[in-house]
Structure 1
Amino acid sequence: MADPYFFGYGSLVNISTHDFPDPRPARLKGWRRAWRHTDLRPVAFLTAIPDPECEIDGMIAHVPRNDWAALDEREWAYDRIPATQSISHPLQHEVEIAVYAVPAERQNTPDGPHPILLSYIDVVVQGYLRAFGTEGADRFFATTDGWDAPILNDRAAPRYPRHQQLKPPETEFVDDRLKQVSARISEIA
């Protein structure tokens, strides 16, 4: 029987946000990331969207005893989609890998009332910096759509439930790359 794994491409890349075992860098072919919001959550978040011309870096990790309940709860606004054949990874044994994505019919473009949280971006980029270095973090920005969405600077009082403390060079990297993509960042009123 194949071991169950998931492919994370956002906050799950940051292994400080979970304790799933055996995290490994991997790559998902035929998908890219996009910032979206749904009627299920008050803020925008990342989802994977099909794109046959794209590949995205991420992390796979083991789901012990095939117990998906905790991960399904964390990713409750997403559908779990089989993706084994689309993922390249270093494992040598038989695995089944799933990716989480928001159903297309529930996706909306982020807007003022549904911004991206800067504390969420920080967590994701910190994960990419630590797992893939600056080149991998740059690929994260390049393979993610929706940087024109409003971003709420909540660093002083993080609203993202799994926020992490960034080191000064990590914060500088995030701020620099957000400038490069001409991000619109607003302060909490």
Structure 2
Amino acid sequence: MSDPFFFGYGSLVNRSTHSYPRAARATVTGWAREWKKSKLRRVAFLTAVEAHGEEIDGLIAAVPGADWVALDERERAYDRLPVAQIRHAHPPLPDIQIYRARADHIEHETGEHVMLQSYIDVVVQGYLREFGVEGADRFFATTHGWDMPICRDRENPVYPRHQRLTTEERDFVDDRLVRLGAAFTDRRP
């Protein structure tokens, strides 16, 4: 029996945040990526959402021995679902899963939620390293929900899997956030 794979579309694209083997770039169809407010804390998180006609780039990687325990714990606010339409250069894979935020963890009311700059940094660093500038620009273009303020936590990160960015990576992230018209705040969650 072959190992199952996950499709990562956020921090899991950054190989520095995990050690899952046999990782490869991939594109999933029928899904989009969106920032959502969490009921668990006053921060936003990325989730995949079903979206007919849309597609997003990401990374697939093996889950050796189908041991989902550690990854499911990392993604505990998410449900794991099968992916139907995906393109990748890996040999055929029978089982690829994607994580979607659990409905009971999404806050729909107005609140003081922020996106974490340290989280955005990790995700974009992964896209830059896997897909280059063009792919990182696609990340910004195909991600919805950029309407929450961004907490400037880069120097004192809140995000537990934060990474140090190169000067070029940091400048890229900052430039793209300015282009989006992002609002920044010093308010920490």
Report the CA distance shift for 1:106/1:112 in structure 2 as closer, same or farther (over 3 A): closer
Amino acid in the other structure paired with 1:158: P
Amino acid in the other structure paired with 2:60: I
Report the CA distance shift for 1:98/1:76 in structure 2 as closer, same or farther (over 3 A): same
Q: Which residue of 2 aligns with 1:164?
A: 163
CA distance, structure 2, for counterparts of residue 147 and residue 41 of structure 1: 18
Cα displacement (A) at 1:43: 1.3
Are 1:111 and 1:150, in contact at CA under 8 Å, matched by a contact in 2? no
Amino acid in the other structure paired with 1:99: I
Amino acid in the other structure paired with 1:5: F
1:109-147 C-alpha deviation (Å, 9 max, x unpaired): 596632110000000000000000000000000010111
RMSD, aligned CA: 1.6
1:159-178 C-alpha deviation (Å, 9 max, x unpaired): 00000000001000000000
Amino acid in the other structure paired with 1:61: A
Q: Which residue of 2 aligns with 1:45?
A: 45
Q: Which residue of 2 aligns with 1:68?
A: 68
Q: 5 Å matches for 1:137-152?
A: 137-152=136-151
Unaligned runs of 5+ in 2: none
Are 1:35 and 1:110, in contact at CA under 8 Å, matched by a contact in 2? no
Report the TM-score, using the length of structure 2 for normalisation.
0.94
Are 1:30 and 1:52, in contact at CA under 8 Å, matched by a contact in 2? yes
Q: Does the residue aligned with 1:163 lie in a helix, a strand or coil?
A: coil
Are 2:31 and 2:49, in contact at CA under 8 Å, matched by a contact in 1? yes
Are 1:36 and 1:110, in contact at CA under 8 Å, matched by a contact in 2? no
- For these two proteins, the number of residue pairs brought into alignment is 188
Q: Which residue of 2 aligns with 1:178?
A: 177
Report the CA distance shift for 1:30/1:110 in structure 2 as closer, same or farther (over 3 A): farther
Amino acid in the other structure paired with 2:160: P
Report the CA distance shift for 1:152/1:106 in structure 2 as closer, same or farther (over 3 A): same
Report the CA distance shift for 1:16/1:188 in structure 2 as closer, same or farther (over 3 A): same
Report the CA distance shift for 1:174/1:110 in structure 2 as closer, same or farther (over 3 A): farther
Amino acid in the other structure paired with 2:5: Y
CA distance, structure 2, for counterparts of residue 41 and residue 73 of structure 1: 17
Q: Does the residue aligned with 1:76 lie in a helix, a strand or coil?
A: coil
Unaligned runs of 5+ in 1: none
1:61-85 C-alpha deviation (Å, 9 max, x unpaired): 00000000000000000000011x2
Percent identical: 55
Q: Which residue of 1 aligns with 2:100?
A: 101
CA distance, structure 1, for counterparts of residue 109 and residue 154 of structure 2: 19
CA distance, structure 1, for counterparts of residue 126 and residue 110 of structure 2: 25
Q: Does the residue aligned with 1:37 lie in a helix, a strand or coil?
A: strand
Are 1:11 and 1:123, in contact at CA under 8 Å, matched by a contact in 2? yes
